[in-house]
Amino acid sequence: MPAINSAVQKFEKNLANLLRARFPYLYISTWEENRVVGLIKAIAGNTELIRTPRKVFEWSSTEGFMENGKSLGEDTKAAIKALEYIDHCQEPAIFVLRMR
């Protein structure tokens, strides 16, 4: 188990560094979507890892944008609408686009 915890901590630190550096796009390929999104949410709210806390929005073509499991109420199911929503967002945020 120590090797697994070490790998998770390393991933968490690397991801925090990328977010802190404000990389505009990150692509994470994984079989463990929920686990990675959980880590992203934990990092996004941890001011020790990143200076500016950020909201996390999740998107899928079947549900559109969601925040904390709740729909934003806007029609963002179409990919172009989702990209427009991201473009107009004025607050610090992380957008997770799921391919399902």
The secondary structure of the chain, three-state, reads CHHHHHHHHHHHHHHHHHHHCCCCCCCCCCCCHHHHHHHHHHHHCCCCCCCCCCEEEEEECCCEEEECCEECCCCCCCHHHHHHHHHHCCCCEEEEECCC
Which pLDDT value is given to residue 8? 85
The answer, yes or no, to whether residue 100 has pLDDT greater than 80, is no
Mean pLDDT across 48-70: 92
Q: What residue segments make up the domains of the chain, in order of their start?
A: 2-97
The answer, yes or no, to whether residue 82 has pLDDT greater than 70, is yes
Mean pLDDT across 30-57: 93
The answer, yes or no, to whether residue 1 has pLDDT greater than 60, is no
